[in-house]
Amino acid sequence: MQTPLGSMVYFLLAALLGALGQFLYKSGAERATGTLLSYLLNGRLLGGVVCYLAVMVLFVAAFRRGGELSVLYPIYATTFIWAAFIALWAYGVPIKPINVFGMVCLVAGMFFMGK
């Protein structure tokens, strides 16, 4: 069974939204004061929840189009790459050579899993 390009695109979009959701959770947690209302009325935390709901919808849509788990889930692993770039942009966290090596390993793994 060949994995449709559309399914792969949905998983890549899900990875981007997953990384954005992680950022929103972190930045929302930084703004929360610890009270229940500070969590429930926190726009960033709610945005993170929306991102993760969208990830699940994209997963279902991708699986409905068809495709193999061994191809699609490694694409979702790019979430870690996107999160590193968001951390660089939002917090100035440097991307070190060892991080780049890990990213290359992820991409190589995706390539080999798709074979």
Q: What is the mean pLDDT of residues 69-97?
A: 91
Domain containing 12: what range? 5-113
Residue 34: DSSP 8-state: S
Segment 77-88, tens digit of pLDDT: 899 999 999 999
Q: What percent of the chain has pLDDT over 70?
A: 97
Segment 98-108, tens digit of pLDDT: 999 999 988 88
Neighbours of 83 (CB within 10 A): 20
pLDDT of residue 1: 65
C-alpha distance across the termini of the chain, in Å: 12
Residues 6+ apart with CB under 8 A from 32: 38, 39, 42, 45
Separation between Cα atoms, residue 62 and residue 72, nearest integer Å: 9
Domains of the chain: total: 1
| pLDDT confidence band for 111 (50 / 70 / 90) | confident
61 neighbors 11 (Cβ within 8 angstroms): no
Question: Comparing 68 with 55, which gets the higher pLDDT?
Answer: 55
